[in-house]
């Protein structure tokens, strides 16, 4: 009887507070375990990728060694006519061919990842395509002039992308690193923008008001309402993307309106975890149980898979110049939402005249 008497003396409210504290502890523990699990999965995926790349490297080395062995003359080979080319020249030729194959492989890799380019008289024009979840998004260009060192003459990169810092860090000595870093920034921005647009268009009925977001789409805030288990819950969420190369938020804050209770706190914690784990529109589809429905149409053209001159029919404006319509739009985007591309003779375009 003593435990029952003590329970009645303490009251039901203290018991509810104990249950609420226990639920909070379990939610935090579950969130920490989920974060650790995601980190472990990422480490395993990267380790598998490293092993695969090492295997490919070993195979390429073996193929190159076998090719050099076949091309070098074998001393004392019967019936073979003497090769007038000295062995040293053959070795240098084989090395040059290996470098050419390696360069072509790198270009092909850039080609399939959405990075392509074409040579121009003053330098080169590089094109960077973006995509997310199989949907092709905007393309951007960087026009380079000069060779030692190259410098950026014009571009369609949004102003919040740290293009100058990336160029100062990589452009002079590491063109590949410059393109990869720039592509990561652009893909992350395009992915965040795509998620926000998709979320607004698909779940407008659940939003209590318009979504607030900045131009870089790295800070999103919105309020929404969900019906769960016969109850109506009103939430406010704030998603921050501190990593400019990530399409998932690094900091999520979710609050719920109404009298604090264990059920509301459980819902709030579950929503915060879901927003961290999945893209915004997919996370909300999971939480609301509405689903995503039919995916939107794939945009025209594949990044990096256009004609050899870097132009795609129907996608590029006929003219481009610093004083033209495309050059005056913020972020370097055309009216159709696509980044402008210079035509074959864009470097010779007449500059816009100014009245004196």
pLDDT recorded at residue 307: 32
Residue 255 phi, psi (nearest 5): -120, 155
* Residue 315, burial from CB neighbour count under 10 angstroms (0-12, 13-18, 19+): middle
Cβ-based neighbour number of residue 233 at 10 Å? 18
pLDDT recorded at residue 290: 63
Selected residue with higher pLDDT from 252 and 69: 252
Under 8 Å between Cβ of 151 and 145:
yes
* Gap between the Cα atoms of 312 and 141, Å rounded: 13
Name the E strands within the chain: 115-119, 123-132, 135-145, 151-155, 212-213, 219-228, 231-240, 251-256
* 291-330 pLDDT per residue, tens: 555 333 333 333 333 333 333 333 333 333 333 333 333 3
pLDDT recorded at residue 328: 32
Q: What is the CA radius of gyration of the chain?
A: 29
Tell me what percent of the residues of the chain surpass a pLDDT of 70: 70
> What pLDDT band is residue 61 in, cutting at 50, 70 and 90?
confident
pLDDT recorded at residue 181: 92
Token duo for residue 260: 């604090």
Token duo for residue 351: 């500059």
Angle at 177 between CA 175 and CA 179, to 5 degrees: 70
Q: What SS3 class is residue 177?
A: helix
Selected residue with higher pLDDT from 332 and 32: 32
> What pLDDT band is residue 222 in, cutting at 50, 70 and 90?
very high
Can you tell me the mean pLDDT for 64-78?
Answer: 66
Token duo for residue 38: 């995601």
Residue 236 has pLDDT above 60, yes or no: yes
pLDDT recorded at residue 32: 86
For the chain, give the number of residues. 356
Q: What SS3 class is residue 310?
A: coil
**Mean pLDDT, all residues of the chain:** 75
Can you tell me the mean pLDDT for 122-144?
Answer: 89
Choose the weakest-confidence range: 93-102, 179-188, 265-274, 330-339: 330-339
* 78-105 pLDDT per residue, tens: 544 445 555 566 677 778 888 777 776 6
> What pLDDT band is residue 276 in, cutting at 50, 70 and 90?
very high
* 241-263 pLDDT per residue, tens: 999 999 999 999 999 988 888 88
* Gap between the Cα atoms of 81 and 74, Å rounded: 11
Which distant-in-sequence residues (6+ apart) come within 8 Å of 115 by Cβ?
Answer: 126, 127, 128, 129, 179, 183, 304
pLDDT recorded at residue 67: 81
Under 8 Å between Cβ of 133 and 278:
no
Residue 331 has pLDDT above 50, yes or no: no
Can you tell me the mean pLDDT for 319-342?
Answer: 36
pLDDT recorded at residue 8: 57
* Gap between the Cα atoms of 136 and 297, Å rounded: 9
């Amino acid at each position: 009887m003593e435990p029952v008497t003590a329970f009645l003396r303490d009251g039901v409210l203290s018991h509810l507070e104990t249950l609420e504290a226990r639920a909070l502890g379990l939610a935090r523990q579950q969130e920490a375990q989920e974060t650790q699990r995601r980190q472990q999965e990422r480490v395993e995926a990267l380790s598998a990728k490293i092993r695969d790349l090492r295997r490919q490297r070993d195979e390429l080395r073996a193929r190159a060694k076998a090719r050099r062995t076949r091309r070098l003359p074998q001393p004392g080979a019967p019936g073979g006519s003497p090769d007038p080319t000295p062995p040293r020249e053959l070795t240098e030729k084989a090395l040059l061919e290996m470098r050419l194959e390696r360069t072509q492989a790198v270009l092909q890799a850039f080609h399939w990842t959405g990075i392509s380019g074409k040579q121009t008289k003053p330098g080169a024009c590089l094109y960077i395509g973006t995509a997310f979840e199989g949907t092709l998004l905007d393309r951007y260009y960087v026009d380079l002039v000069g060779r030692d060192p190259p410098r950026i003459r014009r571009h369609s990169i949004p102003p919040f992308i740290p293009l100058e810092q990336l160029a100062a860090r990589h452009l002079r000595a590491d063109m590949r690193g410059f393109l990869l870093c720039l592509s990561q920034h652009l893909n992350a921005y395009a992915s965040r923008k795509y998620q926000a647009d998709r979320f607004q268009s698909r779940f407008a009925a659940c939003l209590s008001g318009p979504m607030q977001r900045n131009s870089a789409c790295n800070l999103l805030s919105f309020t929404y309402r969900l019906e769960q288990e016969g109850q109506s819950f009103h939430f406010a969420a704030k998603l921050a993307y501190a990593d400019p190369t990530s399409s998932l938020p690094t900091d999520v804050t979710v609050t719920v309106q109404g009298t604090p209770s264990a059920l509301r706190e459980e819902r709030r914690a579950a929503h915060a975890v879901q927003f961290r784990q999945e893209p915004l529109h997919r996370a909300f589809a999971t939480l609301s149980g509405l689903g995503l429905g039919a995916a939107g149409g794939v945009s025209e053209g594949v990044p990096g898979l256009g004609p050899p001159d870097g132009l795609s029919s129907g996608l590029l404006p006929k003219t481009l110049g610093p004083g033209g319509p495309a050059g005056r739009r913020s972020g370097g985007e055309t009216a159709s939402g696509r980044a402008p591309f210079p035509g074959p003779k864009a470097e010779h375009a007449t500059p816009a005249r100014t009245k004196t």
